[in-house]
């Protein structure tokens, strides 16, 4: 059972944005800048799947997937209300993630995906993967 009424829950969920999120995109943006990795742009809407970060010249697309929204095998906790809807939603998100990754790879892009919880653990691993992919040293 939800602890708030439907109108309140709807308002809360409508406030969740797909871009500009401080806990994911903001963290990665700050870490890329601090590591001296250059040449990226944010929220590339002109590329299939709208990668969170894109290195055009190196053809590297980076996605930062929220653990709850994308069904992280480690962190995802299914909601106890409206289970049918949320299970289907997460399944669709995961299927779309796979499709987008496959499409971009077939088009010659290197796709890196990071879970939200990985940002909290260690940025060193993430930054070294990105640096290797784009041929730079952090």
Residues 52-106: pLDDT tens digits? 999 999 999 999 998 888 899 898 888 888 889 889 999 999 999 999 999 999 9
- Given this model, what pLDDT does residue 11 score? 77
Tell me, yes or no, if the pTM score tops 0.85. Answer: no
Q: Give the residue extent of every domain in the chain.
A: 20-134
Taking domain 20-134, whether its CATH number is 3.30.465.10 is answered by no
Confidence class of residue 120 from pLDDT cuts 50, 70 and 90? confident
Question: pLDDT per residue over 9-52, tens digit each?
Answer: 777 766 665 555 666 788 899 999 999 998 999 877 888 889 99
> Around Cβ 7, how many Cβ atoms within 10 Å?
8
SS (H, E, C) the chain: CCCCCHHHHHHHHHCCCCCCCHHHHHHHHHHHHHCCCCCCEECCCCCCCCCCEEECCCCEEEEEECHHHHCCCCCCCCCCCCHHHHHHHHHHHHHHHHHHHHHHHHCCCEEEEEEHHHHHHCHHHHHHHHHHHHCCCC
């Amino acid at each position: 059972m939800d602890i708030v009424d439907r109108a309140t829950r709807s308002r809360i969920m409508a406030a969740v944005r797909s871009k500009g999120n401080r806990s994911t995109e903001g963290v990665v943006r700050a870490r890329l800048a601090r590591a001296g990795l250059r040449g990226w742009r944010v929220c590339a809407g002109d590329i299939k799947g709208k990668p969170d970060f894109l290195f055009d010249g190196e053809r590297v697309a980076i996605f930062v997937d929220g653990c709850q929204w994308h069904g992280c095998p480690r962190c995802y906790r299914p909601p106890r209300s409206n289970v049918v809807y949320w299970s289907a939603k997460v399944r669709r998100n995961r299927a779309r993630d796979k499709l987008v990754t496959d499409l971009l790879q077939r088009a010659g892009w290197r796709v890196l995906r990071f879970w939200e919880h990985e940002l909290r653990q260690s940025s060193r691993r993430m930054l070294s993967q990105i640096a290797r992919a784009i041929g730079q040293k952090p």
